[in-house]
Chain A
């Protein structure tokens, strides 16, 4: 199946700093990528849809100025958590659709564990 990578896998930062997370589709071009947030023992909450060459669309309740998304190429989307605070600590997972793959399948990255001190 298609492979999606994320970097970094773990990051610890101080409160007030910004953190950038990268999501890459390694062997296919992804016009659409998705960003999720997962709390411990909880479900995947869709944060935003990242579209190559256009602005991301955010789900209700997600602050677009807090979580900046850039999808500059067909293989890379980035999520920047700006002015991070402890409540932003979470597991962030991206996914990507392979247009050549079956119907609607999304391939997930391995996730990034963010800890804000």
Chain B
């Protein structure tokens, strides 16, 4: 099955700095890559996603890049704010396989004011 690895496990940045989280996947057939944000005690919320036919996608302060050849994708958060502090999960999914998500291990982001 699919194996998703995520790094780093924890990340501390100063407010206003950028944060980058990286993920790799093993199944070349995976074609959908969402990123979820989970605040303490709350449910995961989708923040951005990318499909395999796109190399980069941006939504305000967040962007995601995908390298299909290398099977890795990254989340970039610019101008971080304290409210960006949370655990971020990447996932890989295969559209035809009931859209099952396989999640990375998560990155705890701490934005220091």
Chain A interface residues toward B at CB < 8 A? 32, 34, 36, 41-46, 49, 51, 57, 59-60, 93, 95, 97, 102-106, 108-111
Q: Is the beta-carbon distance between A111 and B43 smaller than 8 angstroms?
A: yes
Minimum CB distance partner of A111 in chain B: B43
Task: A44-B44, A57-B98, A108-B43 are known; give 12 further A-B pairs, CB within 8 A.
Answer: A41-B106, A43-B103, A44-B89, A44-B101, A60-B1, A103-B51, A104-B34, A104-B95, A104-B99, A106-B34, A106-B101, A109-B43
On chain B, the residues within 8 Å of A46 by CB distance are 100-103
Closest 4 CB pairs of A and B: A108-B43, A44-B103, A43-B105, A104-B32
Q: Give chain B's interface secondary structure class.
A: strand
Q: How far is the CA of A40 from the CA of B18 in the complex (A)?
A: 27
Q: Is the beta-carbon distance between A110 and B99 smaller than 8 angstroms?
A: no
Q: Mark B57-97, 1 if CB is under 8 A from A, else 0.
A: 00000000000000000000000000000000100010100
Minimum CB distance partner of A102 in chain B: B49
Q: Is the beta-carbon distance between A93 and B43 smaller than 8 angstroms?
A: yes
A57 to chain B, nearest CB (A): 8
Q: Is the beta-carbon distance between A105 and B98 smaller than 8 angstroms?
A: no
Q: Is the beta-carbon distance between A108 and B1 smaller than 8 angstroms?
A: no
User: Does B29 make an interface contact (CB < 8 A)?
Assistant: no
A43 to chain B, nearest CB (A): 5
Q: Is the beta-carbon distance between B105 and A49 smaller than 8 angstroms?
A: no
On chain A, the residues within 8 Å of B100 by CB distance are 34, 46, 49
